[in-house]
Amino acid sequence: MSEGKIFTYKEVAELDGHVIINDKVYNVSEFVNEHPGGDEIIMEFYGQDCTQDFEDIGHSPDAQKTLQKLYVGDVDTTSEKSVKQVETVEQKTSDQPEFKKIAAVLFLVAALLLYKGFTAEK
């Protein structure tokens, strides 16, 4: 399906009530009120790409069908992303709680070894 309009990332960001899933643009402004997962969860993604989150939930074929009805066009993937779109991607990659946990464990082990070293000398 590619008979829709072509949007740049910036155009989508400026539109109210539109999201991007798999490089396609959907007008979800009316659908959000009927979304079984709640309106806010989608509203957070207005103007942005929510492919990952949409797929992580494991939406049913029924949800995919609903999506088709909301299709308004495609995104020009070569266009420049808006600041908001870049921020959400960066947030996802740099926000790694696993890394913080590992750093905390390493710090504790180092502190313990240092402490043991000091007490052994005496």
Which positions touch ligand HEM (CB under 6 A)?
A: 19, 26, 28, 31, 35-37, 41-42, 45, 50, 53-54, 57, 59-60, 62-63, 66-67
Distance in Å, CB of 37 to ligand HEM, minimum: 3
Report the alpha-carbon distance of residue 88 to residue 75 in Å, rounded: 17
Distance in Å, CB of 117 to ligand HEM, minimum: 49
Distance in Å, CB of 48 to ligand HEM, minimum: 10
Amino acid code (one letter) for 27: N
Q: Which is nearer to ligand HEM, 36 or 117 (CB)?
A: 36
DSSP per residue, 10-72: HHHHHSTTEEEETTEEEE-TTGGGG-TT-HHHHHTTTTSB-HHHHHHTT--HHHHHHHHHHEE
Q: Which is nearer to ligand HEM, 18 or 81 (CB)?
A: 18
